[in-house]
């Protein structure tokens, strides 16, 4: 009916989002059996009615007939990308006696076009790198730092406490003693993994072990070390070729934070407007109704100035050498606040990174009944690539690569190319079960905490999960974006959902096969095609998935077998950079070829 692939530059140019003011070219091929004697391009801004409802589209351009082949007519049109925003388009076929609108897969769903500020750029240093995500209390300990008085000190191999107290609150006050000097001591290990960006869970003063309940944004938590310890980490990381990204928790504070305590004590406090009290002082809005996490008001208050004002939190820590910020629950932050954060970061460092926690397609995300303009040039540089993680897990579960191919083609179509190559390609985080446990089908979703606490994969589950993890990691490292490793995933750590995904790193007990594989993948990242190379799906059926990454300096092909049985595949000539080039791929096997 219609042959139009917006990720194919022969059909749409440029691929992905378009800079406002640039020329966009579309060239669909439409079956002659439909009887169209003319075709128009119809486009409209998000929020306006679609033309199939009878509304007049904002853009209606006649397309030019280019010829026919294989009983398909080729039609073409070129237009100037409008001002930044989210737009939709479809092709209107003029058929004897009627008009017919054609969208995705020949249906009524329109195609998407994200137009962004032509000045929008992302940091040059991120593509081609490797991110490593450290949960500070559980990674490494070097020298003693004082635990808070309420802490329950744990041994390194212990299981996290999950039971609530008598009030039904999970206090998160069990501490392993991981600290900043411990991370500094392990930088050679991270260097062996090719890490270029070290992402730290929150490090500011707070009561819990996870530190998402900030008490003071301008102090390092004493259990993690001192300001001087942080400076030493930044200094040594820079010497080892790594930048540091901090976790910015700017949607809520801790209930014991001095800001909130002052607001709850006095309505005349300058901090009172920072929070939303339903009935002062005891009933207030919280993040997900967690009372120890009172939410910051969505409108502009002095809190915005504390964070993004001159001399504020962003300035303070960037002056210490911080290169990037991951924004916790970015969906909860107001558009103007996000814009102020990015503006401040870029004022301090034109190559500074602002990366948001967004779990869905960030180009068209609806949050609190509003479409969010995250990637139009004024808010976020990149996001956490949960859609790819979900697609990889699902594809391995059903032994069919279609979810991965569809996910990648959607992201390549929807995102600006500079964002696509800067995506945080994660497989695990502090919010998800350990990826080995997930892929081994042992995550026990929906089971009670006491069953999850000490759950371990059976030998059969472990062998299957490990094979799948090596495949999944290879995809995260070779598909567009930047791979992100959650501490210990490369060592074979197991664990169900929070808090069992937050055990201490198993120093001296790592899975050497997995560790060697991750180190091999890090060396692969040096290939220029994996930084900003074009992506193309070349095969996706019968459990097999093949794609290429192409740039001026070279071309790679990756072929993966997602099935539990061996599959034959005719590999092209090339140099095997990973795996063995043979006629048959083993179960969950993968090979990466450098093509001539």
pLDDT tens readout for residues 183-203: 999 999 999 999 999 999 999
pLDDT of residue 200: 98
The pTM (predicted TM-score) of the whole model is: 0.98
In angstroms, the first-to-last Cα distance of the chain is 36
Q: Is residue 523 part of a domain?
A: no
Query: Is the pLDDT reported for residue 51 higher than 90?
Result: no
**Domain stop point among 239, 271, 295:** 295
pLDDT of residue 143: 87
Nearest alpha carbon to residue 545 among 368, 384, 409: 409
Average pLDDT, the chain: 97
Q: Provide the domain count of the chain.
A: 3
Q: What does the pLDDT look like over 444-471, one tens digit per residue?
A: 999 999 999 999 999 999 999 999 999 9
CATH number at residue 92: 2.60.40.10
pLDDT band at 567 (very low <50, low <70, confident <90, very high): very high
Q: Is residue 103 part of a domain?
A: yes
Q: What does the pLDDT look like over 407-447, one tens digit per residue?
A: 999 999 999 999 999 999 999 999 999 999 999 999 999 99
- Mean pLDDT of the 53-58 span: 84
pLDDT band at 52 (very low <50, low <70, confident <90, very high): confident
Q: How far apart are CA 238 and CA 325, in angstroms?
A: 16
- Residue 490 phi/psi, 5-degree rounding, is -70, -15
The CB density around residue 294, as the number of other CB atoms within 10 Å, is 24
Q: What does the pLDDT look like over 299-324, one tens digit per residue?
A: 998 999 999 999 999 999 999 999 99
Task: State the greatest distance between any 2 C-alpha atoms of the chain, in Å, as a whole number.
Answer: 81
Q: Which domain holds residue 267?
A: 252-295
**Domain stop point among 83, 116, 149:** 116
Q: Is residue 129 part of a domain?
A: no
Q: Is-contact 525 194, C-beta < 8 A?
A: yes
By percentage, how much of the chain surpasses pLDDT 70?
100
Query: Is the pLDDT reported for residue 594 higher than 90?
Result: yes
CATH number at residue 290: 3.90.400.10
Which of 564-567's residues contact partners 24+ apart within 8 Å by CB, and which partners?
564/399, 564/464, 564/588, 567/542, 567/543
- Mean pLDDT of the 39-58 span: 91
**Domain stop point among 116, 147, 164:** 116
- Residue 53 phi/psi, 5-degree rounding, is -90, 0
Query: Is the pLDDT reported for residue 253 higher than 90?
Result: yes
The CB density around residue 515, as the number of other CB atoms within 10 Å, is 16
Q: How far apart are CA 157 and CA 454, in angstroms?
A: 12
pLDDT band at 97 (very low <50, low <70, confident <90, very high): confident
């Amino acid at each position: 009916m219609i042959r139009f692939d917006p990720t194919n530059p022969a059909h749409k140019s440029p691929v992905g989002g378009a800079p406002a003011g640039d020329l966009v070219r579309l060239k669909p091929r439409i079956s002659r059996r439909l009887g169209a004697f003319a075709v128009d391009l119809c486009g409209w801004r998000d929020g306006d009615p679609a033309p199939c409802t009878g509304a007049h589209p904002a853009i209606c351009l006649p397309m030019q007939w280019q010829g026919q082949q294989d009983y398909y007519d080729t039609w073409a049109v070129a237009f100037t990308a409008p001002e930044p925003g989210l737009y939709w388009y479809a092709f209107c076929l003029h058929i004897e006696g009627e008009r017919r609108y054609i969208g995705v897969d020949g249906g009524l769903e329109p195609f998407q076009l994200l137009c962004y500020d032509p000045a929008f750029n992302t940091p040059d240093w991120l593509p081609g790198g490797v991110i490593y995500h450290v949960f500070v209390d559980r990674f490494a300990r070097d020298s003693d730092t004082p635990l808070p008085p309420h802490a329950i000190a744990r041994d390194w191999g212990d299981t996290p406490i999950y039971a609530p107290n008598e009030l039904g609150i999970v206090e998160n006050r069990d501490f392993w003693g991981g600290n900043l000097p411990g991370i500094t001591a392990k930088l050679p290990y991270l260097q062996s993994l090719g890490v270029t960006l070290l992402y730290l869970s929150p490090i500011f003063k707070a009561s819990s072990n996870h530190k998402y309940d900030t008490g003071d944004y301008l102090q390092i938590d004493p259990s993690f070390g001192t300001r001087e310890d942080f400076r030493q980490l930044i200094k040594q990381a820079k010497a080892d070729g790594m930048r540091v990204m901090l976790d910015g928790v700017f949607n809520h504070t801790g209930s014991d934070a001095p800001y909130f305590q002052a607001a709850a004590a006095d309505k005349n406090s300058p901090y009172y407007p920072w929070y939303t009290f339903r009935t002062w002082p005891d009933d207030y809005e919280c993040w997900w109704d967690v009372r120890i996490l009172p939410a910051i008001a969505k409108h502009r208050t002095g809190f915005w100035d504390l964070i993004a004002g001159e001399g504020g939190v962003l300035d303070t820590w960037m002056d210490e050498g911080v290169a990037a910020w991951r924004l916790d629950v970015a969906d909860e932050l107001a558009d103007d606040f996000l814009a102020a954060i990015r503006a401040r970061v870029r004022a301090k460092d034109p190559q500074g990174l602002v990366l948001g926690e967004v779990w869905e397609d960030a180009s068209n995300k609806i949050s609190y009944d509003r479409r969010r303009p995250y990637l139009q040039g004024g808010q976020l540089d990149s996001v956490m690539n949960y859609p790819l993680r979900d697609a990889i897990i699902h594809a391995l579960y059903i032994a069919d690569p279609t979810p991965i191919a569809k996910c990648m083609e959607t992201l390549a179509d929807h995102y600006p190319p500079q964002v696509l190559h800067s995506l945080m390609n994660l497989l695990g985080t502090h919010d998800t079960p350990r990826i080995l446990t997930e892929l081994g089908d042992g995550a026990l979703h929906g089971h009670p905490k006491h069953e999850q606490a000490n759950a371990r994969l059976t030998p059969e589950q472990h062998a299957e999960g490990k094979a799948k993890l090596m495949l999944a990691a290879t995809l995260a490292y070779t598909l567009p974006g930047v791979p992100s490793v959650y501490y210990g995933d490369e060592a074979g750590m197991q664990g169900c959902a929070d808090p069992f995904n937050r055990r201490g790193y198993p120093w001296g007990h790592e899975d050497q096969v997995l560790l060697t594989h991750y180190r091999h993948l890090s060396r692969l990242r040096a290939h220029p095609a994996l930084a900003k190379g074009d992506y193309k799906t070349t095969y996706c059926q019968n459990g097999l998935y093949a794609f290429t990454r192409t740039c001026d300096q070279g071309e790679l092909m990756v072929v993966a077998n997602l099935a539990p049985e061996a599959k034959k595949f005719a590999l092209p000539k090339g140099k095997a950079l990973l795996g063995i080039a043979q006629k048959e791929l083993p179960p969950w096997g993968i090979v990466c070829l450098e093509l001539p």
